[in-house]
Amino acid sequence: MDRRTGGRHSDPMKIPGQRLDETLVRSEFAPRTTYLNSASTGLLPARAVRAMHEAALSVAEGRPQDMFADVEEARASFARLVGVPVSRVAAGASVAVYSGLVAAALPPGAEVLTAEGDFSSTVNPFHIRGDLKVRAVPLERIAESVRPGTALVAVSVAQSADGRIVDLAALREAARAHGSRLYLDASQAAGWLDLGDHVAAADFAAAVAFKWLTCPRGVAFFVVPEEADGFGGVRPLLAGWVAGERPWDSCYGPVEELAHSARRFDESPALLAYTGARHALALVEELGVPAIGAHGPALADRFRAGLARLGHTPVPAPGSPVVAVPGLGARQPELSAAGVEVSDRAGSLRAAFHFYNTEADVDRLLDALPPAPR
């Protein structure tokens, strides 16, 4: 019997409202801990590990396989997951790099609206410029804070610290009404949140893939407007040979012809990471964002209910698979020592629930937490 629910555990992968393929998940993941830290780093699926191992061996043995093909497959997979043409997607390694390109495209004195406490890679490049007017407001007020003269709104779709989700529909409407451009960081959303046409409608978007997309570190994507729209005015300041329309003819001297797609914004890829990413992204597509997006938030709701019984109040983040509990962050080391992996973020315990987690994982964390002081 489960003392939390008053009955037996339900099938841990059969959460109402979704059809996650339990057999497929269990064939790819076998963590040795209660891993609730996907907002920091997602677990690597077995297929990605095998592919990277085989690719590394091919290099060690002097017969390197074509890993550039893996970059293109990963690019295409990400494009499908966020609902944009592949011609709009650049492949790189860091959101901060792409935030920097967007920042560099703004004229001096331009106003950039951001959310208070947003992730540094999303907002810091705009501050580094030194000649932009960067204004930060609470996330819940960001749509209403867009005003005439706001050149760009830069915000994470889901906040790293606590999982709060921005109202994308309201933000799009406000940006459109005031002629403001929109830059979305989907690092904490891509892979579990159905982004609909929000990324497609944004001027720019970026995301690292080593969190909810379960890719290796060293993989990130950048979404820009099409060439016909001038790529939104962003310049390929970091362009190297891979940014050429014909990369292998662009190895020496200035690149004579930049790619006519977002590939002109590519960074030279970390090939082994992209080999793993190709297979990890394929798994996310197989499982389906709707199923993944139902599973994690349902586990998060179970955790919130358990916290309420213990007298703890998490940061409100409805619909999110991330739960932050103020005042409990200091317990992270002892939880880790007990085999429960979570994060300490700004004094809050942050737990993140993904498709490889179960109700038993939630309950194990609840059992490890003390009741709130009376």
Q: Where are the domains of the chain?
A: 22-44+288-368, 66-286
CATH architecture classification, 66-286: 3-Layer(aba) Sandwich (3.40)
Contact 239, 258 (CB under 8 A): yes
Tens of pLDDT, residues 107-151: 999 999 999 999 999 999 999 999 999 999 999 999 999 999 999
**Upper half-sphere CA count for residue 44 (Cβ side, 13 Å):** 19
Prediction pTM value = 0.94
Burial 81-99 (b: 16+ CB within 10 A, else e): bbbbeeebbbbbbbbbbbb
Regions of the chain short of the pLDDT cut 50: 1-16
Burial of 201 (0-12, 13-18, 19+ CB in 10 A): middle
> Quick one: pLDDT at residue 18?
61
Sign of the alpha-carbon torsion through 290, 297, 217, 45:
negative
Q: Are 145 and 167 in contact (CB under 8 A)?
A: no
Question: At the top level of CATH, which class does the domain 22-44+288-368 belong to?
Answer: alpha beta
- Taking CA atoms, 330 is separated from 325, 326, 343, in Å, by 11, 10, 9
Chain-centre distance of CA 284, in angstroms? 13
The pLDDT score that the predictor gives to residue 314 is 98
CB 131 within 8 A of CB 109: yes
What confidence score (pLDDT) does residue 266 get? Answer: 98
Tell me whether domains 22-44+288-368 and 66-286 share a fold: no
